[in-house]
A and B are shown apart, each in its own frame.
Chain A
Amino acid sequence: MGRQLTISCFRYNPNIPGDKPRMQDYKLEEHEGMTLFVALNEIREKQDPTLMFDFVCRAAICGSCAMLINGRPRLACKTMTSMLPSRFTVMPLPVFKLIGDLAVDTGTWFRDLQIRAEAWVHTNKKFDFNALEVRMENKTCEEIYDPEQCIECGCCVAACITANIRPDFIGATGINRVYRFLIDPRDERSNAEYYEVIGNEDGTFGCVGLMACDDLCPKDIPLQQNLAYVRRKMAAAGLKLDFKGVKTS
């Protein structure tokens, strides 16, 4: 006989006219190896089919099931209920648009981020279908793999006070994304071009250094190091740049 869990769950469907945001309690019995993902599915199957939440992979790869668990952004599939008290709260991530209950739309936000950060390899090399791929040093490959692990769950954005109060801030995930291309030798962008993308208050210089991203990243990406690297690199690049101003008066 497992513990009796009480999950206090945020409920609100913006699509139902007149629906009011509220907290609703669900009770269920805990069993061996239960994750919050399993618990929520049990609730949806057996108690309340109207409960909305996102999931796809249940293995911390898709980044869909991020939510505030007892106030902290985490992945539901990577959170064992045994780590939590018998009564806890679940709420949707802030910053992102609420779809309903625990489900938020991270897609639109991240799509916009990809465009702003120009998150693709910029190269002028013509692709030759017949040639062998250019080999990459193992060390470089490992270095790129590190920031590349980002699953775009949005935990770092939700945990960031700056992202919460300044909607234009690109967040740790955005700076980390630029870092990924900065260290990729295939990307031919100059530092000045990267600076154009991220060398401003909405980018790397907007970070206050609260490090909730670093502490709460479900993939344990070393965000402190990556963010500081981008900041140093962009500061060095920016100091060398020459901008022509527009005289407005």
Chain B
Amino acid sequence: MELAKNLQTTINRSYGKTDLYVDLAQSISGVLLIGFLWMHMLFVATIVVSPDLFNRLSIGLDEYYLAQVGIPATILLIIIHIFLALRRAPVRLRDMRITYRMAKMMNHFDTWIWVGQVVSALFVGVMASIHLWIILGAWPLRAATSAMRVASTGPADHTWGGFAFPFFIVFYVIFLIAGEYHGGFGLYRILVKWGWWDRHTMGWVLKGITVVIVGLGIAALYTFTQIAANLPAGGVIQ
């Protein structure tokens, strides 16, 4: 394991700040993304208060160009974060096998949580892409259109014949839990690596916040289904 003083390591040493910048950037992009996620969930949860508040917030975000700037910025952040975090994941089959075997053998909580983070990252990556595609295709966001989407029973409702499956509810519940899990424990890990606080206390605080956010998300999804059920047949799309 002695560091060989070959050409590559010598050159890398002269770029001695790369590892620091990359590590910092991973943590900072993570913090920004979890900040985005929690804010996003609070905004979505305004539907529980009233569809009118939800609509006004959405209009406001468009009017002040927060959505137009925020969405591309978030997409960029996600790409950066995936790229930086990938270097930490076990990517070779050999590494995956060692990771799984050690996690199973030690049965150590935080190690298992991290394995779950790697897996949930895959879900979040794919599902966020689908989510963004659908959202942007139906812009602007309004309570009625969101409700219709959440309550729709298939990717292409009536082409599947009599088959009705609450596709988007299932999709969003998985997305919500995967996103919150990945983000919540991601923030925990960032604070463990950089912070001063005892990680056991911190863990409980973050688990509490995560439960609240997941609760808000579920409440919002439920409200959307209720709104959709009360819309006139075919839905009035503003």
A-to-B contact residues, CB < 8 Å: 68, 71-73, 94, 109, 112, 115-116, 159, 161, 164-165, 167-168, 195-196, 199-202, 205-212, 214-216, 224-225, 227-228, 231-232, 234-235, 238-239, 241, 243-246, 248
Contact B16 A243 (CB under 8 A): yes
User: What are the residues of chain A within 8 A of B15 when measuring CB–CB?
Assistant: 243, 245
Q: Is there a chain A Cβ closer than 8 Å to B156's Cβ? A: no
Per the bound structure, the CA–CA distance linking A201 and B17 in Å amounts to 10
Residues of B within 8 A of A201 (CB): 19, 22-23
Q: Mark B119-138, 1 if CB is under 8 A from A, else 0.
A: 00000000000000000000
- 13 further A-B pairs in the complex, CB-CB below 8 A; given A68-B105, A165-B98, A227-B193: A71-B106, A72-B108, A73-B106, A164-B98, A199-B19, A200-B19, A205-B19, A210-B108, A210-B114, A224-B198, A228-B196, A235-B24, A245-B15
A248 to B98, CA, bound (A): 36
Chain B interface, >50% SS class: helix
Closest 5 CB pairs of A and B: A71-B105, A205-B23, A238-B20, A165-B95, A209-B193
A116 to B109, CA, bound (A): 31
Complex CA–CA separation, A202 to B146 (angstroms): 47
Residues of chain B contacted by A196 (CB below 8 angstroms) = 13, 16
Number of interface residues of B (CB under 8 A): 42
Least CB distance from A231 to B in Å reads 6
B110 adjacent to A212 (CB under 8 Å): yes
With A72-B108, A199-B19 already in contact, the answer to whether A244 and B14 are too (CB < 8 A) is: yes
The answer to whether B193 and A207 have CB atoms under 8 Å apart is: yes
Q: A112-B2, A205-B19, A209-B189 are in contact. Are A161 and B102 (CB under 8 A)?
A: yes
C-alpha spacing A36/B147, complex, angstroms: 62
24 pairs across A/B with beta carbons < 8 Å?
A71-B107, A72-B107, A94-B98, A116-B1, A116-B2, A116-B3, A161-B90, A161-B103, A164-B98, A165-B99, A195-B16, A200-B19, A201-B23, A205-B22, A206-B19, A209-B192, A209-B193, A211-B199, A212-B111, A214-B199, A215-B110, A235-B24, A246-B10, A248-B11
With A165-B98, A207-B193, A246-B14: A109-B19 Cβ-Cβ less than 8 Å: no
CA A135 – CA B198 in complex, angstroms?
32
Can you name the residue of chain B whose Cβ is closest to the Cβ of A234? B20
Complex Cα distance, B11 from A94, in Å, reads: 32
User: What residues of chain A lie closer than 8 Å to B3, measured between beta carbons?
Assistant: 116, 168, 202
Q: How far is the CA of A206 from the CA of B95 in the complex (A)?
A: 16
Rounded to whole Å, the gap between the CB of B85 and the closest CB of chain A is: 10
Tell me the smallest distance from the CB of B198 to a CB of chain A, in Å.
Answer: 8
Q: How far is the CB of A228 from chain B (nearest CB, A)?
A: 6
Q: Does B194 interact with chain A (Cβ within 8 Å)?
A: yes
Give Cα A23 to B178, complex, Å: 39
Instruction: Look across to chain B and name the residue whose beta carbon is closest to the beta carbon of A91.
Output: B105
Asked if B194 and A228 sit within 8 Å, CB to CB, the answer is: yes
User: Which A residues are CB-close (under 8 A) to B104?
Assistant: 71
Contact B17 A238 (CB under 8 A): yes
Q: In the bound complex, what is the Cα–Cα distance between A207 and B196 (angstroms)?
A: 16
In the complex, B88 has a CB within 8 A of chain A: yes
In the complex, whether B195 has a CB less than 8 A from a CB of chain A is yes
Q: B110 to chain A: which residues have CB within 8 Å?
A: 210-212, 215
State in angstroms the CA–CA spacing of A115 and B3 once bound together: 10
Residues of chain B contacted by A205 (CB below 8 angstroms): 19-20, 22-23
Q: Nearest chain-A residue to B15 (Cβ)?
A: A245
